[in-house]
Amino acid sequence: GAGVSQSPRYKVAKRGQDVALRCDPISGHVSLFWYQQALGQGPEFLTYFQNEAQLDKSGLPSDRFFAERPEGSVSTLKIQRTQQEDSAVYLCASSLRRMQGVSQETQYFGPGTRLLVL
């Protein structure tokens, strides 16, 4: 079946531009995550949605970053007034159930969007 898809796969932005990155999770998956992966680093958690509710946005690096999932399926990560330090790969992941208790639901990752801010 279809996995997590992300678009665009590559995005070049001029410093100061706004960008919007899209994530299509696996159909029916309740939980959705965004991670940021800088060059040569591992992914770092940004935010978590359970259906349409954003339950954790503790990893968003600044108020220029905003994420939404209005209908509980597709999610958009928006970065306003992009800066060079925002250059990274942005990964989306989804999992079937809500993340609760000690059970560890597998997170399925998309291929990522590579953002380059000039």
Query: Quick check: 97 and 105 in contact, CB under 8 A?
Result: yes
Residue 48 engages other proteins in binding (rule: CB under 8 A)? yes
Query: Is 85 strand, coil or helix?
Result: helix
45/109 Cα distance (integer angstroms): 13
Q: Which residues pair with 22 in a beta bridge?
A: 7, 76
Residue 84 engages other proteins in binding (rule: CB under 8 A)? no
With respect to other proteins, which residue has the nearer C-beta, 14 or 101? 101
81/91 Cα distance (integer angstroms): 20
* Rounded least distance, CB 79 to other proteins, Å: 20
Residue 57 engages other proteins in binding (rule: CB under 8 A)? no
Residue 102 engages other proteins in binding (rule: CB under 8 A)? yes
Query: Is 86 strand, coil or helix?
Result: helix
Q: Is the Cα dihedral 18, 12, 35, 3 positive or negative?
A: positive
With respect to other proteins, which residue has the nearer C-beta, 66 or 109? 109
With respect to other proteins, which residue has the nearer C-beta, 38 or 118? 38
Residue 53 identity (one-letter amino acid): A
With respect to other proteins, which residue has the nearer C-beta, 48 or 82? 48
Q: Which residues lie near other proteins (CB under 8 A)?
A: 3-4, 31, 33, 35, 40-45, 48, 56, 59, 91, 93, 95, 99-102, 104-112
